[in-house]
């Protein structure tokens, strides 16, 4: 409707949204890596904290390298890749509710979820539907995202096994 002005408005809004999300991820992801490094030997290098700034320096560098790799993707592929990966992990989180409820030995340790088990089952169904829709719409980035997730598990467990046997 607005021709060039409309294009500029839409692109500016998208850029603002991307920069807002980037700000959040720059702050959050290195701290997630740092927290993971506290429990797993394979990630111990990520626990290094700067004396001056008290920030997880190595985790920030790793996060920056990952972001630099993602720069080479087209925006539509990147959205599919990130959305697909995020939905895979959300599905795993919903599935884990059943595992934690089953393993809990006390009422205090039980994960309380409204309308259990129907709400988690509905959430799993919706995320699986979204995964299928993204895969059908953009299969190559979806396969790349799936490949990254699949290959990360054996690498993580092999590194952990090697590092635990050295300790």
**Helices vs. strands in the chain: H and E counts, helices first:** 5, 0
0.85 exceeded by pTM: no
Rounded to an integer, the average pLDDT of 156-161 is 80
pLDDT tens digits, one per residue of 119-153: 999 999 999 999 899 889 888 888 887 887 788 88
pLDDT tens digits, one per residue of 62-110: 888 887 887 787 777 777 777 787 888 889 889 988 888 888 777 776 7
CA atoms of 29 and 62, how far apart (whole Å): 10
Residue-wise burial string across 58-95, b where 16 or more C-beta atoms lie within 10 A, e elsewhere: bbbebbeeeeeeeeeeeeebeebbbbbbebbebbeebe
Closest to 43 measured CA to CA, from 56, 52, 54 = 56
């Amino acid at each position: 409707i607005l021709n060039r002005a409309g294009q500029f408005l839409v692109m500016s809004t998208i850029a603002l949204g991307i920069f807002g999300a980037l700000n959040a991820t720059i702050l959050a992801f290195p701290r997630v890596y740092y927290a993971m490094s506290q429990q797993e030997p394979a990630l111990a290098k990520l626990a290094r904290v700067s004396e001056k700034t008290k920030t997880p320096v190595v985790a920030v560098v790793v996060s920056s390298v990952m972001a630099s790799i993602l720069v080479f993707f087209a925006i539509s592929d990147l959205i599919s890749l990130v959305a697909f990966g995020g939905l895979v992990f959300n599905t795993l989180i919903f599935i884990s509710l059943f595992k934690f409820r089953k393993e809990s030995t006390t009422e205090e340790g039980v994960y309380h979820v409204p309308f259990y088990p129907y709400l988690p089952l509905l959430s799993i169904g919706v995320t699986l539907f979204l995964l299928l829709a993204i895969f059908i719409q953009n299969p190559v980035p979806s396969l790349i995202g799936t490949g990254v997730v699949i290959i990360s598990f054996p690498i993580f467990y092999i590194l952990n096994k090697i590092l635990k046997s050295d300790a």
